[in-house]
Structure formats: C-alpha cells, structure tokens
Structure 1
Amino acid sequence: MAHEPIELADALSTFDQLWSPRILTQVNDYDVRIAKVAGEHVWHAHDDTDEFFLVLDGELTIALREPSGERSVVLPKGAVFVVPRGTEHKPSSKDGASLLLFEPTGTLSVGDRHDEVPGHVDATTGHALGDR
C-alpha cells in the first residue's frame, strides 16, 4: 500500500459495487475500509471482533439482536457506532450511504456464521482500492 494521502471522495468515486468494501490502508492488523451501501445487508455477527462504522454520507440503520431484545440505531452523516463482538446485526440504508469501517484484516463482511454469500456481495474481505 502506498504511503500517500488518500482523499475519501476520490477513493469512493473509483467503484460502484454495493456492500463490497475497498481497503484504503492498514493500521497495525486492521483494515481501514470504505463501502457504498443501499438496501439491506444480511443478519450476521463477528464472534471475535467489534465492528466500527462511521457514516461518511447518507444515513445507515443498524438492526441489533441483543439479550434485551431487538432494536435499531439510526446513524446520520458523521455518526459513529460500534457493534460489540458477537452481536447479531443487519445494516441497511433506504437511500444509500457511504461508510468508513475499521476491521481486523481478513474479517468477513458477512460475519462468521454465514454459509452462503449473498449475491449482492462480491468480496467478503474487501478489495484493494483501485480493484473493480
């Protein structure tokens, strides 16, 4: 990976695929990923890691299944939210959103408990920025 500044708007303009993150750079053992999303993703959980979301544009809703029951959080542009490890969640965006994510390298975007990758996901661990 190049050690040069990366403009987020420029990076986001290089792809159109939804729910298929691009890896901007790495920090220690973590990928810094960007993604475009619209519609619904899948219910999933990450057994061994939290998941960090920053909404760069648009609005994201994350449905959560917690011991106390189901709830949803709505994240407008500029909002940050962390889904705790092991928590089932389902991100969605009615009108579309752009996200920045921090995840351990190799983390699957469909979680650890999925047998089948949905057709709307073309890479479960992200593409290198610039890959189409």
Structure 2
Amino acid sequence: LLNSKHHELERAPTFRKLFDRTHKRKGSDDYVSESARTIAETYDRTMAERYAEGTPQPDLDPEAWVDAAGGPRKGRVYGFGDSLDTHPVLSPYVHSIAPPAYASSSAAPPVSGVEEIRVLIREKLRAELQTQFGDMVQQLISAMQGVRLT
C-alpha cells in the first residue's frame, strides 16, 4: 500500500493520508469510528486556521494532532498505533503536569495556577513534539511499508 501510494504520488503519503487509509472503511469514505471522524475533522479545521491559504503546511503539525486527539491517553496518542514509542514525547508532558512528588501517587497537584500549568504543558509539549514526531512519523511509515493492506 505505502509503496503504491509513494509511487503514485512520487513521495511518501502524509500522516493525514495514512490516517485516512487506516481509519476509513474499505471502499467507502466512512470512518471506522465517530472518534476517528471527529479527530480528522478537528485536525483539518485547526490546520486551515493555522496555515493561511498558500502557506505551506507541514505533513504533520504535532501540537494540532495531539489537541485534536484530546491529548495523550494511557501514554498513547490516537492515530499513532502501538508500534511507536511515544515515551520520549509524552514523558515531558507527564512531568510538566505534576511535580515528581505527585507523579508517583494518586494525589492531584494543587489547583492554584491551573492556567499557568496549561500554558507550561502546551509549551513543553509543543517543543518535545516538534523534535520527536518527525522520527515517529518515519517509524510509522517504515512500519506501514511492511504491511500490505488490500
């Protein structure tokens, strides 16, 4: 699949095209789940807002994708499958949410400064995602090259 798309497009498909290929029903334009459809639409809307017409868009905007996916859940980001190591990306996210004293317990951090914490999380996550997602997308593409979808 990936090789035929690569040949057809003369370049590797974008992350978004891979997502559609792996999250839509065969022979139709229907997503396999409501959450897949919602994430794809939210991501597309965010990308249209962030990048004006005529402005080149990256193949993947990690921050926009994580936002569209609703953030990481159980150490994973929706749409990345389980073949990717998201620990390098999500580890700083977890540590920026709670200081080490809270990270290993079930107690919640103090509620004061919630907005400051959110800003810190976004900044930290954006920086980490930009440096790590490029490698992760390459891992995904490499993994997909070995899978033949018919």
Larger Rg: 2
Give the number of the structure whose residues are more often strand, by fraction. 1
Larger RCO (alpha carbons 8 Å, 6+ apart): 1
Query: TM-score scaled to structure 2, two decimals?
Result: 0.24
Give the number of the structure whose residues are more often helix, by fraction. 2
Query: TM-score scaled to structure 1, two decimals?
Result: 0.26
